[in-house]
Structure 1
Amino acid sequence: MSQINLVEITTEYIELNKFLKFENLVESGGHAKLVIADGQVRLNGKVVVQTRRKVRDGDIVTLAGEQYQIVVVEK
């Protein structure tokens, strides 16, 4: 596995589909739904198929072999 990329957010959580768009990992919201439904996304090591699953501080999202850890920061 590659190193973990830290992703800072300023809210308590971000929905998984919005996270994928925010990080430019998908082309659109529709594309986000497809890759999630296809089982290509893992949250903390487990396949997740809930498009709007809440991703919180410390969670690790994996897509295409790349890992992204969520870090909540103050505004």
Structure 2
Amino acid sequence: MAQEEINIHSDYITLGQFLKLANVVESGGMVKLFLSEYPVFVNDLQDQRRGKKLYPGDVISIPEVGTYTVTKDKE
């Protein structure tokens, strides 16, 4: 499965915001349910906190969905 880059414009993004930006969920209300039903790994460690801060370089893996890398625009 190809690794997709998700570009952010701030210093970090929360896991909940990331799932919406990556089109994994359609709305913020679906984030909690998604995290309760699917394992999400941040840098190979499972993390289900929607407020978890993700920084450029972090790798998010969701089995059966995809693998994503957080990137940031160069100023």
* CA–CA distance in structure 1, aligned partners of residues 36 and 50 of structure 2: 7
More strand by share: 1
Aligned length in residues: 74
* CA–CA distance in structure 2, aligned partners of residues 8 and 22 of structure 1: 9
**Which ranges of structure 2 fall in alignment gaps of 5 or more residues?**
none
**1:5-64 deviation line (CA, Å, top 9, x unaligned):** 111111100000011011211122121111223352111111101111001010011123
* 1:24 match: secondary structure: coil
Share of identical aligned residues, percent?
28
Q: CA RMSD in A?
A: 1.5
TM-score under structure 2 length normalisation: 0.84
* CA–CA distance in structure 2, aligned partners of residues 71 and 27 of structure 1: 21
**Which ranges of structure 1 fall in alignment gaps of 5 or more residues?**
none
* CA–CA distance in structure 2, aligned partners of residues 65 and 46 of structure 1: 17
Alignment of 1:1-75 (within 5 A): 2-63=1-62, 64-74=64-74
4+ long deviations beyond 6 Å: none
